[in-house]
Amino acid sequence: MDEDIRLGVLLPTGQGQWGEGTDPRRLVDFAVRAEELGYASVWANDSLLQPRVEALTMLAAVSSVTERVTIGTAALMPVLRRPVQAAQALASLDLLSGGRLAVAVGAGFPGRFGRPLYELSEVPWERRFARLDDTVALWRHIWTTRTASSYQGPVLRFDELPPGTAPYRAGGPPIWLGGATPAALARTGRLYDGWLPYPPDAADYGSGLADVRGAAAGAGRAPGAVTPALFATILITEDVAAGRRALDAYSRANYGLPLEVAETIQTMIAGPYEHVAERLGRYVDAGARHIVCRIGALDLSSQLDQLGRVIGLQESLKVKRP
């Protein structure tokens, strides 16, 4: 098993994270700075419900000015795009980045950030998980088929498919899943290349990862077939109280929820460096190896300041050896 701990960072593509009067083209500079500081990856999230730079457009811009970092979606909502067009866009992005793309996907969840997206896309909410898995299977079919073909899945059916653009890597970019329900854990182990959840309790992460690995073994996959990742909202502050106040403002601005509600749903950690490192260390001990950090700040200057602080956590997050 890979014992290295990798840190990634979410690009603040939402308009609410730029700050008033900020030129959004500075987001490209943010990605360049992340690479210079030693981050392993930069990520963009996806939505139609908040003003933001579209995820694949953002990553295309980033791919042209970086050389080493993985560029990824955290998470892409395939329902927002026509499936064949999305396969072409992702293959093109993998080509242009020299094979540096990782695609974390999700189906959405009930509430504000779920069903309304399906309504905007004129796609039924029902069978959304089957549709997600089928879309990923279609992408892989297109990426690996060099002649005209057809595709007949449980949800998607195409009698005539022209040859698609071949990605940089044989088989296409790795695809991760972001869910943590029992069904999602089983599907991750059987079908996906990585797991990117955000459970608020490290113990739940550990038990979930065990289920993912059990499902992978049951499907005859290699022990390291699924990358164990974590999505965590992070803020380094002078003390825990100040950090919680800042995360509360961030949560209300992004979700319309107070921190005490949001932190029961996802991983959110703020406070002095040692406190954040200790809390993240629990997830490392539970098996997480690639941590995607969303910085909980509401303007680009603060995001850039935190970018230099958060990368220091990588040195502290050592794997405990027997």
| Backbone dihedral region for residue 287 (phi beyond 0: left; psi -120 to 50: alpha; all else: beta) | left
Residue 322 included in any domain: no
Other CB atoms within a 10 A radius of the CB of residue 140 amount to: 15
State the pairing for strand pair 290-295/227-236: parallel
- 24 and 18 Cβ atoms separated by less than 8 Å: yes
Domain holding 133: CATH number?
A: 3.20.20.30
Share the mean pLDDT of the chain.
94
Q: What is the reported pLDDT for 33?
A: 98
Residue 321 included in any domain: no
Q: Each residue of 79-138: pLDDT tens digit?
A: 999 999 999 999 999 999 999 999 999 998 777 778 889 999 999 999 999 999 999 999
Residue 234 included in any domain: yes
pLDDT at 321 over 60: no
Q: Each residue of 46-57: pLDDT tens digit?
A: 988 888 999 999
Residue 106 included in any domain: yes
Q: What is the reported pLDDT for 19?
A: 74
pLDDT at 44 over 90: yes
Residue 88 included in any domain: yes
pLDDT at 4 over 50: yes
Count how many Cα atoms sit within 13 Å of the Cα of residue 25 in the half-sphere of its side chain.
0
Residue 290 included in any domain: yes
Encoded amino acid at 191, one letter: L
Residue 227 included in any domain: yes
Long-range contacts of 251-255 (CB under 8 A, 24+ apart): 251/296, 253/16, 253/298, 254/14, 254/16, 254/50, 255/112
Burial grade of 255 (CB within 10 A; 0-12, 13-18, 19 or more): middle
Instruction: Report the number of distinct structural domains present in the chain.
Output: 1
pLDDT at 253 over 80: yes
Residue 1 included in any domain: no
Encoded amino acid at 223, one letter: P
d(CA 53, CA 150): 34
Count how many Cα atoms sit within 13 Å of the Cα of residue 265 in the half-sphere of its side chain.
11
d(CA 295, CA 11): 9
Domain hosting residue 114, numbered range: 6-316
Q: What is the DSSP string of 4-43?
A: --EEEEE---BGGGT-TT--TTHHHHHHHHHHHHT-SEEE
pLDDT at 27 over 90: yes
d(CA 214, CA 110): 28
Q: What is the reported pLDDT for 319?
A: 63
